[in-house]
Amino acid sequence: MVVFLNGKFVPEAAAVVPLNDRGFLLGDGLFETLRVAGGRPFRLAQHLERLARGAEFLKISLPYTPGEIQKFAGQLVAQNELADAILRLTLTRGPGRRGYSPKPAGPPTLAMTLNPLPLVNSDEPLQWSLATASFRIPAGDVLAAFKTTSKILNVLARAEAEEKGADEALLLNTNGEVAETAGGNLFWVYRDSICTVPTGRGVLPGITRAVVLEICQSLGLETQKRIIKPEQLLNAAGLFVTQSALGIIPVAAFDGRPVAPSPLVDQIVTAYSAMLGRD
């Protein structure tokens, strides 16, 4: 596999960063994960816009313009001949001195890697079971707006869910409200409305979350952004998770209880698949 690292395309085994890179030492960086469909990175412009906002907030200088990064991403896809894949961009503050202070540090590190899509049996569409995690997200965390590389809470939550036999963890915030999952945003169906958690409650404003809201508008489906407690999800007429790598994943079970399939979720999944092929 060929990867992109700081302006060069190199074999994965030859791609190295310094041991004093702050992304490695402190998780001092950002990342974006997105789907490549038909040889084209899906919604790359929106991912780069979020990356740029995060870099500005963290005061990390982007080493390339969004246009240059788009060009590099296209070249990476072409060199690896992967028409359908998962693309990850990682930006760190770069090498620095020991300690927390970011002065002096740099230049920033920018890497891009590709991974094949997970194999899915077409006769058995992907579905997940959720388990509520014991870990909590700060309800008013300003960093929730960005995909920082400091994701140990998400790692532990996913591991805890897997120990319970579930596929994914449901994360609550410090108010005890539903926030998101370890790797995506949560939606639920309530009285023919498609609902999700508003931002500002510890929720990442996901790109696929925004795409689903667009799809609902195009289909004439009502959407709501609501604060909800986990026990209220038991009354939902359907649950699904959105993430850029896998798209839309219906939830078949929540905390050991089955979740009935929803025809509204099927509509959204079909529209999303068509959008992937078109956009």
Domain boundaries in the chain?
Answer: 2-116, 128-278
Which DSSP letter does residue 197 get? P
What average pLDDT does the segment 239-251 reach? 96
Cα–Cα distance list, 66 to 44, 72, 106, 159, 192 (Å): 9, 10, 19, 34, 39
| CATH architecture for residues 2-116 | 2-Layer Sandwich (3.30)
Determine the average pLDDT of the residues in 146-162. 97
DSSP bridge partners of 224: 195
The two tokens of residue 94 are 């770069």
What average pLDDT is seen over the chain?
Answer: 95
Cα dihedral across residues 265, 266, 267, 271: positive or negative: positive
For residue 87, which of 135, 63, 51 has the smallest C-alpha distance? 51
Query: Cβ(46)–Cβ(205) under 8 Å?
Result: no
Q: Which of 44-53, 213-222, 270-279 has the lowest average pLDDT?
A: 270-279
Task: Collapse the DSSP code of 51 into the 3-class scheme (helix H, G, I; strand E, B; otherwise coil) and give the result.
Answer: helix
CATH assignment of 128-278?
A: 3.20.10.10
- Average confidence (pLDDT) over 138-154: 94
- Cα distance between residue 163 and residue 61, in whole Å: 40
Q: Does 122 score more than 90 pLDDT?
A: no
Does the structure show a pLDDT above 90 at 119? no
The torsion of the CA quartet 145, 24, 84, 130, rounded to 10 degrees, works out to: -60
Segment 164-206, tens digit of pLDDT: 999 999 999 999 999 999 999 999 999 889 999 999 899 999 9
Tens digits of residue pLDDT in 27-48: 999 999 999 999 999 999 999 9
